[in-house]
Structures are given as C-alpha cells and as structure tokens.
Amino acid sequence: MRRVWLLSAVLLLSTLPALLAARSPAEARADQAREGGPPRQPPTFRAGTNLVQVDAIVSDQNGEPIVDLTATDFELLDDGKPVPIDRVRFLGAAEYAGDSTLAPIRTHEDEEREASRDDVRVYAIVLDDYHVQRMGELRVIEPLLAFVRQLPPTDLVAVFYPLDSVTDVAFSRDREKVNKAIRAFYGRRGDYQPKHPVEEEHLRYPQNIERIRREIVTSSLEGLATHLGGIKQGRKTIIVVSEGFAQRVDDVRDLYQAANRANVAFYPVDPKGLTMSNGRTTSGQMMNGVMSDRDAMEALAIETGGRAIVQKNDLSAALGQVIRDSRAYYLIAYESPHPDDGKFHKVSVRVKRPRATVFARTGYWAFTRGENSTGAVPVLTPVPAAVQTAVDRLADSLRPDADEPSDGRRRVNMPRPADVAPAPLLAAPTIAVARGRVVGDPASRREFHRTDTLVVRAETQRTPAVSGRLLNGRGQPLTDLPVTPGAGACELRLALGNLGPADYVIEFTARSGDETAQQYIAFRVVR
C-alpha cells in the first residue's frame, strides 16, 4: 500500500495486507513462522491448491433471500471470462450446535474458535465519531441498539471507535457491553478537543487534523478487516457509521481490496438520512483523484458485496437487511485460472434466475509463483545490509546472557550503544511495551508476545517528515506504519495481535529538503 499513515494510534488496528484465513489459525501461524513474516496472499486459498471461494447473497425482487439455487444456476466470470464452478454451498441460518452454555470469550483462542463456526456470524460496528456531526448520533443509536437486539445470542459482535485496538476489543456475546459502547457514541466532527492523549498531538498541526483523522479511520478499517480475515473463513460484516471518511480514490481502492482479501463486507451507514443534495462526484473531482463522501461509501459497499445505507431515513429497516444478508448466502468455489501471478483478479457472479439480485465481492489476490505448491523452492532475494545489521543486533539482544552483565548486576533496560549512533536527521529507534496508556522503559531484549503493543520512538533533528514501514526478517515490505511527529522525536505504535511468530524489522525514513536518513530496528514475536 502507498498510504503514509501519520498517527501512532492507528496501528492499534495494525494491518497486514494478507492473512491465511482459509487455513486454521494454527496453520497460518506456522506458515508465517516458516516464511519469516506474514505472506502477501489473501484468505481465499487453501494450502497446496488454487481454490477461490466467493460468498454471494442472492435476493428476489422483494429483497428476500433465494435459498434453492444450485451450481447450475450460477455463472461466474474471472477477469471477464467464464470459469467452471467446482461447488456451491448454501450457508443459511443454521441452529447453533456448539457449547450450549455459551461460555464467555476470554482469549483470542476462544474468539477464533467460536468465530470460525459456520453457524456463528461475526459483526463489527465501527462508530466513526470523527466524521459524524454532534447530535447526528441521535439518529443512529436506537437503530443500532435494535440491530443488536435482533442478533441471536450465539452471534459475535464488537464495537470499535477509530482509536480502538483489535487486541483490546474482543468479539463476544456480551450484549450489554456492546450496548454500553453504542450509547456512549457522540459525534465529534469539527470538534478538536482531545478525547484521547494521542490527540493532543493533533493540535500541533491544526491544518492537517482532518487529513489525519481520515487516515486514522481508513487505516483502522483496513486493520480490522484483516483481523476478521484471520479469525473466520466465511463472510464477515463491518458496519461503519460515518458521514464520510475516505475521499481519495486510491484510499477507497486500498480499503475495499483489503476487505476482499479478508472476505469482509462493508455496510457504510450515513446517519444524516435523506438530504436534498445528491452528493455525487463531479468529473473534475474524479480527474483529481477525489470522490464524494456518498460515492466513496457506495463504492466500498458495492466492491465488497455489502450495501450502502445512505440517503435513507429508516435506518432500522436497512440494518435489518444486514442480518438477513449474513444469515443466508452462498459460498461458491472454483479453481483459479491464475494460480501463481500474485495479482488482483476481478470476479463477477451472475444468477440465471429472473429478477434476482446478487451481492458479492469483486475479486481476490492470487498466489505468487511457487507458493501454492508445497514442493516449490522459493527464490530468495538478498537481504539489504542495513536490515541484516538490525537482525544481527536483534540476535545479539536475545542471547541467553544478554540481560546479565559480567559483574552480575542486572542491566538497566536501555538501548545498546550500537543502537544509538547519531544520524543526520534521525537517531536509532528504541522499543518499549505499552500497557494501556503507560509506556515502559526501552527494552534491551526485543522479544514480545502477540498480546503486546509496542511503542517505537526515534529522536529527530530539524523537524523532518518521517514515515515508517514494517518489513519481514528478509527486508521485504509488509505494510506502511503510521508515525506521530513530535518535538525532537517521532513515535509509532504497533499492536502485535495480527503478526505471526517471526522476526520483523521496522524501517524509519526521515526527509528534510534533499536530505534523507533511514534507521532500522528488529524485534521478534513469539506466541
């Protein structure tokens, strides 16, 4: 992805643009450990095959689901060309067959186990307070509460705000917790009074606050979609309450492609309801790479197989359709004609039934060459020297005696001298662990668990523009990271919940005029 993210708290919903949700969580973690980092492929394939699975909702002219279709009733196009369908499976509102006591979900393992069931639906409700006018929330709170009341007790749901972390907000069956989060919602569009400590930094850059907020929301949604792709193979639903959060065409495209990788359907909800303005993108806006709020929300829904709830006053009825969609859909499987090109391919689903309407995601990412064959030998690219140095320093920090100096006294958790050599624009970064709002001392032993959130900090000179990237242990880029600028320093936060056990490298790049400086720091994720 090309986006440069600017706020540390965005990565509390850290995104890796690929997960292997079609495999079990244990298989995916094992694959990531072998490959030195999360692979780039989406969750639509099974290991060793080129199987693609697409979920499709088919409704009649009254909006009711059609439930009696077979494979012969469907026509599927891959990049515009018909392909044979391997099988079609209807996933209806089956009765829950799991633990009848509905034990509370306390761990990520509990979350993954229950979410992966075919008879359990998963819903994420994102309340974009940055882009809802004050008092505008009053139009949507009661419809959302009614939506939650309609969910069967077995389904999983969670409420997220833009700065929430997927590692801190668990999907559960605790409806009272969900209702409390919904009732606490209030719009803050145009209100820049800090609600969270990280927002104190916003006030230092008043001309950029709106851009920063848009990037927080779009980046967070990508991370949430990726997280959902890691806990369930079938259809997942994200309901986004917002008056509009993504206006760049490229940002919208990045977001719906990330959702397609994870088999997530977006349902944007505009609480304004019916308005006199059509809110459409003009030709001039499109030429400048900008979309109107309404067109961006509709594109996000269409491209992911969801529905845009915009220009509607009856939000309760529209949200009821969300439940019907997720409880009656077809899972269509076919062999991809592009098993190894690593590209995004468009998918179109048609039904040979009069007056039927189909909602389906629009594409998938194929494997790169050799990755769908367990016998293939991957081609390894040379590791950049700076990355290798960072990995070597990581290995040094993980020595059994790394925390114990020769005089027997425990070493203070400060960065090693080799890590703090001065740089023209950017000093070498340090890593600490955040426990809520409290940040610990810099860690000398850089080995962390998936439940940790890291705070990576580097001192700067002359106020450069700083960007960040997450690399795997061989220096291959995985995703951009949001960097928060500050007085004489920059900082980013990285929640490790979506990273598999492996070694990773964070790359900082600072630019000021014609001068550029880079720094690297490596760390290890364990279970």
Flag whether 32 is in a domain: no
Rounded average pLDDT over 297-307: 92
Flag whether 7 is in a domain: no
**Burial, 399: exposed, middle or buried (Cβ in 10 Å; 0-12, 13-18, 19+)?**
exposed
Query: pLDDT tens across 372-383, in order?
Result: 443 333 344 577
From 327, 355, 371, give the residue that closes a domain.
327
Rounded average pLDDT over 403-420: 42
Residue 19 pLDDT greater than 60, yes or no: no
**Residue whose tokens read 């006018």:** 133
Q: What does DSSP assign to residue 40?
A: S
Residue 180 pLDDT greater than 90, yes or no: yes
Rounded CA separation 349/75 (Å): 6
Q: Are residues 311 and 340 in the same domain?
A: no
Specify the higher pLDDT residue, 394 or 157.
157
Q: Are residues 352 and 365 in the same domain?
A: yes
Residue 215 pLDDT greater than 70, yes or no: yes
Q: Are residues 486 and 511 in the same domain?
A: yes
Specify the higher pLDDT residue, 288 or 218.
218
Rounded CA separation 267/179 (Å): 19
Q: Are residues 227 and 351 in the same domain?
A: no
Rounded CA separation 342/473 (Å): 21
Q: Longest C-alpha distance within the chain, in Å? A: 82
Q: Are residues 520 and 415 in the same domain?
A: yes
- Residue 404 — pLDDT band, cuts 50, 70, 90? very low
Flag whether 129 is in a domain: yes
CATH number at residue 230: 3.40.50.410
Q: Are residues 422 and 515 in the same domain?
A: yes
Flag whether 196 is in a domain: yes
Specify the higher pLDDT residue, 365 or 407.
365
- Tell me, what's the pLDDT at 93? 67
The mean predicted confidence, pLDDT, of the chain is: 79
Q: Are residues 300 and 435 in the same domain?
A: no
Query: pLDDT tens across 334-347, in order?
Result: 988 887 777 788 89
Domain ranges, residue 374: 50-92+328-379
- Tell me, what's the pLDDT at 373? 43
- Residue 136 — pLDDT band, cuts 50, 70, 90? very high
- Tell me, what's the pLDDT at 265? 93
Q: Are residues 175 and 281 in the same domain?
A: yes
Residue 492 pLDDT greater than 90, yes or no: yes
Flag whether 318 is in a domain: yes
Q: Are residues 368 and 463 in the same domain?
A: no
Residue 392 pLDDT greater than 80, yes or no: yes
- Tell me, what's the pLDDT at 450? 77
From 305, 327, 349, give the residue that closes a domain.
327
Query: pLDDT tens across 441-459, in order?
Result: 898 889 998 788 899 999 9
Query: pLDDT tens across 31-50, in order?
Result: 443 333 333 333 333 333 47
> How many domains are there within the chain?
3
Flag whether 191 is in a domain: yes
Query: pTM for the full model?
Result: 0.61
Flag whether 281 is in a domain: yes
Flag whether 9 is in a domain: no
Name the least confident of 154-163, 271-280, 399-408, 494-503.
Answer: 399-408
CATH number at residue 421: 2.60.40.2550
Specify the higher pLDDT residue, 252 or 96.
252
Q: How many CA atoms lie within 13 A of 42 on its CB side?
A: 26
β strands within 100-224, DSSP E = 122-127, 156-160
Rounded CA separation 94/269 (Å): 27
446-485 b/e with 16+ CB inside 10 Å = b?
Answer: bebebebbbbbbbbbeeebebbbbbbbbbbbebbbbbbbb
Strand order in the sheet with 447-449: 447-449, 515-526, 502-512, 465-472, 477-481
From 343, 359, 379, give the residue that closes a domain.
379
Q: Are residues 112 and 212 in the same domain?
A: yes
Q: Are residues 375 and 310 in the same domain?
A: no
Q: Are residues 142 and 245 in the same domain?
A: yes
CATH number at residue 58: 2.60.40
